[in-house]
Structure 1
Amino acid sequence: MKNSGKFGLMLLGITVLIIAFIDLASDKQIDWSKTYDQRDKIPYGLYVTREELPEIMENQVQVEDFTSTNYDFLKAFLSEKEQSSLVYIVNGFYEGKEVTGELLKFVERGGEVFISANGFPLYLLDTLGIKQQYHYPHNFNEVINVEDRPYSLADGKTAHYKDLDYPGLFCDLDTVNTRIIGHYAVEDREIPNFIELRRGKGRFLLHLEPLMFTNYYMLKEENFIYGAAVLKLLSNKEIYWFDSTFKGTQEAKTPLRVLLQNDGLRQAWYILLFGLILFLLFKSKREQRAVHVVDPEPNLSKEFARTIATLYYESGNPGNLIQKKVEYFLYEIRTHFQLDILQLEDELFARQLSLKTGVPLDECKNLVELLLRYRKVRTATDAELVALNKRIEDFKHKAHML
């Protein structure tokens, strides 16, 4: 029993040394999660922007946080903050119809709403009379150069951003109430990604690509100047920053929170627990047979799909691929929108498709005609296959099927 105790202490000491060595020698991995959280100091957090916002506004405004997760709270909050600005920097602005309606009333009374997001709800876009799309190259096989893409503001400030492969854009803009105040250059064209929409006594400032305000970009001088110029467009004296996570009410109440929040104390706690487990194991007189571990069957779906794709590619029969592409797309339409694809040749099918997807009727009619033409095709070219794939992918994006 004495020898067993000594052996356990030796093993515990060796374990502590190994853990300490691994902790000192290992490189801490960078977290590239796109949290858009004002507390996160990771590359895609918003800590720098939130902390620097008072300085950006030259300390002439009052900056506070708010959350809109509770509709009743937001309604009461906005009724008291008519001459103020709301700032949303989120991955996707997908508030419900009720919350969006309150924001519209808030703007009509003279408020100001700044939203930087990758996507907006259809209800808001339809109400404001605008559309949102994404920029894709004409040829999907070409290499996209995103290392030096310029983004400019109406006042002339320009910054270059990389890693923004398919940036968003606004289209079908009303020139009476809408003003383009930001764009990016692609193929010798200026594509709008930042607009101002007047509504009632107030206005919306809609900006696409919230990554521009994350720590990764705002720590670069050129990008910081661009981001600061965008935020300086806020005109009210009171600014309320939307807290997307609202962690204030989610802080752990356990007495161990002090240990778990400190790296050194947390490691010491884990070592102590591990040592206690070792002690119990060596003091226990029960011996248990080893249980044979049966590994589950590996998932070879990806390899199977790659093999089938290679066979189709080497067979050189684009017509067969077009038929399967059409049938799979029709299956998606049936499952997403509950439409009877057996009625594809019916004139009402395109109208029903347009109503359920929000895509214009003419585009739906053209797409249905294209599907009918290629559904029974036997021979085709690679160019036709690529063109059909582009048409289908464009439709999916407009119909929010992706």
Structure 2
Amino acid sequence: MICKLLKNYTPLLLLFVLISCNKTDWNENFKEKEKSPFGNYIVYNEASELFRDNEVTLLKENIYDFLLFDSDLDSTKHQNYICIKHSGFKLSNEGVSELMSFVSKGNNAFLAFNHFKDTLQSSLNFTTNNLDKNANSINKLRKLKSTFQLNNNQFSKTSFTFDRNIRRNYFLEFDEKNTSVIGTIEVDGEKVPNFIKIQHGKGAFYLHIQPIAFTNYYLLNDNEAYVENVFSFLPSNDVLWDPHIKSSKYSEKPEDNNNIFKFFLEHQTLTWFLFVSLIGLLLFMLFNARRKQRPIPIIEPLKNSTIAFTQTIANLYLKEQDHKNLVDKKIAYFLEKVRSKYLLNTTNLNADFIEKLAAKSGNEIQRTKYLINTIITLNKRAECSEEELVVLHKMIEKFLNN
């Protein structure tokens, strides 16, 4: 049915093709009067044909105000409430309570949001997940694509491919006793719920987490059958279509309006303004925090070349196979290291020296005593073997690296 209706919008499709990408408004506005790619002009204007046996009423006020004060609804006649937006930010906490009461009496609510209000999630006992919450620019959203399926015997084998702006949103947790999954999205190769029905009292909530699927762009790109099949789940009742154009006049807690940061983040231009302002403030503080006086030059201390010289001489003796001389140089290297690093006098290698060296170096007293006694013994010898040289070298390295 909707395929025939969309023939009336062929000029719109041609217009999208002819207009360059730079002039086309690719922002997601979900407005019923917008003919841009991601407006809701087509789905709303064809609602009377989609629900041809029922009356479609466009709300001119907030749903809370309508249900509580201004509605003349017949209690014996059930209604379908439909709202397709980026998020339900104009639905106050009181509005959520009133809408739940409305549904519990036998009415139904179809909500297609990217982000559901926390109050609604806690009331209906479900949570959501959004893996692309940082994808806000047009270029990033253009790369997001996926495949949808509906759980119905009539079209269960049909897959619907969506080629852009499909965030990886899905329902994470819900009460399986009163919730049924009637639609899925493929996320990273796995099918997860993106369209569920939650029974509430005598009515039900139909929750869809990809409102972009109902916009002009997809209705003109061979996905109109998906929208028709989604709405076929709703009972045949009169429709209250909510364009979300007004906030409640009677709500006592306009908490969303008081959150200035949330308001900024819900509008792309204001979000960029906020980020640029914060970055500018940080840069201002960074450059003005620098010293106004000339920097003080760093004078590096003179380097002690004794150790490097000792190592060079030791390598020369190693080539000559003069182990005794090399042992002497290793001992001299070690004692110089002790004097410079631990500030100890190495004239007398007695018990007091051993205790101080062990304490300052963090080595065990037994290991320190063994090393010093070995040095004293090898220092007194006229000749040393290669094995003794190797043992001394390992003991010194192990001691210094502790």
Q: Relative to structure 1, is the Cα distance of residues 54 and 300 closer, same or farther in structure 2, using a 3 angstrom cutoff?
A: closer
**Contact 2:166–2:210 under 8 Å retained in 1:** no
Q: 2:31, 2:160 → 1: CA distance?
A: 23
> For residues 148 and 203 of structure 1, what CA distance do their matches in structure 2 show?
29
- Listed one character per residue, the Cα deviations across residues 41-79 of structure 1 (whole Å, up to 9, x for unaligned) are 11111111112222223x111111114427433313556
> Does the CA contact (< 8 Å) of 2:145 and 2:164 recur in 1?
no
Residue type matched to 1:87 in 2?
I
The aligned residue for residue 44 of structure 2 is 50
Deviation at 1:235, TM superposition (A): 0.7
Q: How does 1:200-239 map to 2 (within 5 A)?
A: 200-221=201-222, 223-239=223-239
User: Is 2:106 the partner of 1:131?
Assistant: no
Q: Per-residue CA shift, 1:185-207, capped at 9, x if unaligned?
A: 12331110110000100000000
The one-character-per-residue Cα deviations of 1:252-289 (angstroms, maximum 9, x if unpaired) are: xxxxxxxxxxxxxxxxxxxxxxxxxxxxxxxxxxxxxx
Q: Deviations over 1:135-189 (max 9, x none)?
A: 369xxxxx99956521111122421112235321112211110000011112331
- 1:73 pairs with 2:74: no
Distance in 2 between residues matched to 1:236 and 1:187, nearest whole Å: 36
Alpha-carbon shift at residue 129 of structure 1 (Å):
0.7
In the alignment of these two chains, the number of paired residues is 223
1:231 Cα shift? 1.5
Residue 242 of structure 1, CA deviation: 0.5
Q: In structure 1, how many angstroms separate the alpha carbons of the residues matched to 2:103 and 2:37?
A: 32
Three-state SS of the structure 1 residue aligned to 2:195 is strand
Q: Which runs of 5+ in 1 are unaligned?
A: 1-25, 138-142, 247-297, 309-402
* Alpha-carbon distance in 1 for matches of 2:72, 2:278: 56
Structure 2 residue corresponding to 1:152, chosen from 149, 152, 162: 149
Q: Identify the residue that residue 273 of structure 2 maps to in structure 1.
A: none
Whole-angstrom distance in 2 between the partners of 1:162 and 1:243: 26
Change (3 A) 1:160 1:78: farther
Superposition TM-score, scaled by structure 2 size:
0.50
Instruction: Report whether the alignment pairs 1:86 with 2:65.
Output: no
- The answer on whether the counterparts of 1:158 and 1:226 sit within 8 Å (CA) in structure 2 is no
Q: Which residue of the partner structure matches residue 194 of structure 2?
A: 193
Paired with 1:45 and 1:31, the residues of 2 have a C-alpha distance of: 10
SS at match of 1:93: coil
- Separation (CA, whole Å) in 2 of partners of 1:163 and 1:76: 41
Structure showing greater radius of gyration is 2
- Native 8 Å contact 2:107 2:202 kept in 1: yes
After TM superposition, the score normalised by the length of structure 1 is: 0.50
Letter in 2 for 1:55: E
Give the secondary-structure state (helix, strand or coil) at the position aligned to 1:113. Answer: strand
